[in-house]
Amino acid sequence: MNASPIGVFDSGLGGLTAVKELRKILPGEDIVYFGDTGRVPYGSRGKETIVHYAKQDIAFLLSKGVKSILIACGTVSSTLPPAVMQGLPVPCAGVVGATVAAAAAATQNGKVGVIGTEATIRSGSYEAAMKQLAPNVTCFAAACPLFVPLVENGHFLKGDRVAIPVAEEYLAPIKAAGVDTLIMGCTHYPLLADVIAEEMGSGVTLVDAGLQAAQQTKQSLANLGLLNGRQTGGQVAYYVSDVPARFNQLAQTFLGEYAGGAIEQINIEDYNL
């Protein structure tokens, strides 16, 4: 058993969808979350910038003595070289592998849609992972660059008049392809699930990257003997790179009954691998 906290990071608020799931399935575990709210979004950045940011985020979590790291960011998961993750002193995983496995198991017609940030879709990470795991499944990908800013600014509820036309525009080609399963390849996107589901129709299964990554984290920690053994009492410490006020306001919406915990602003530029 290991009493150290689980580390989770994202470019902003989206990773809270993974934190919510972790708190639900591992209620006794402590969590340290870092949201890089001062530099969100990552998805429109170049590869070198994304890797640099990710290394700083990881260095911060390591400074907090975490026992594992969940990269709750589709952009970083798709961009950070595997060698970086493999070279860390603690287990580190992203959201791509678990999400692809869930989509491959869900599809009935072999047509899977993938939506993500520009960097995620440009990387082709989900398609490559699917080709390796289930070569008979065809992926149809679309970048949705405005989805993260919509979520970060509170435009994600069903019926939102700002989100609906954006979703219609982005999802049209995926819908036309006839997919029966849609990977929400960014942990911000589950907050838009009602909007996305209404546009795609009831016959399409949505796959939540945050949920799948949380479940994979639980299994990995169990396999490695790193769970702390507690069934209750887990605490979360939140850190951000911009003023906490906005984060605090929206975190209540993202986390629901699992909200709560100290929020502190840090200077992420002080940390480097």
Nearest to 97 by CA among 132, 55, 51, 121: 132
Question: What's the token pair of residue 75?
Answer: 């952009």
Name the active-site residue from 73, 92, 139, 144.
73
Instruction: Return all residues near 103 (Cβ < 8 A) that are at least 6 apart.
Output: 112, 130, 137, 181, 183, 207
Cβ atoms within 10 Å of 54's Cβ, excluding its own:
26
> Is 139 a residue of the active site?
no
Length of the chain: 273
Contact in structure between 112 and 83 (CB atoms under 8 Å): no
> Is 73 a residue of the active site?
yes
**Is the Cα dihedral 146, 161, 167, 259 positive or negative?**
positive
Contact in structure between 15 and 210 (CB atoms under 8 Å): yes
Name the active-site residue from 92, 139, 144, 186.
186
Could you list the active site residues? 73, 186
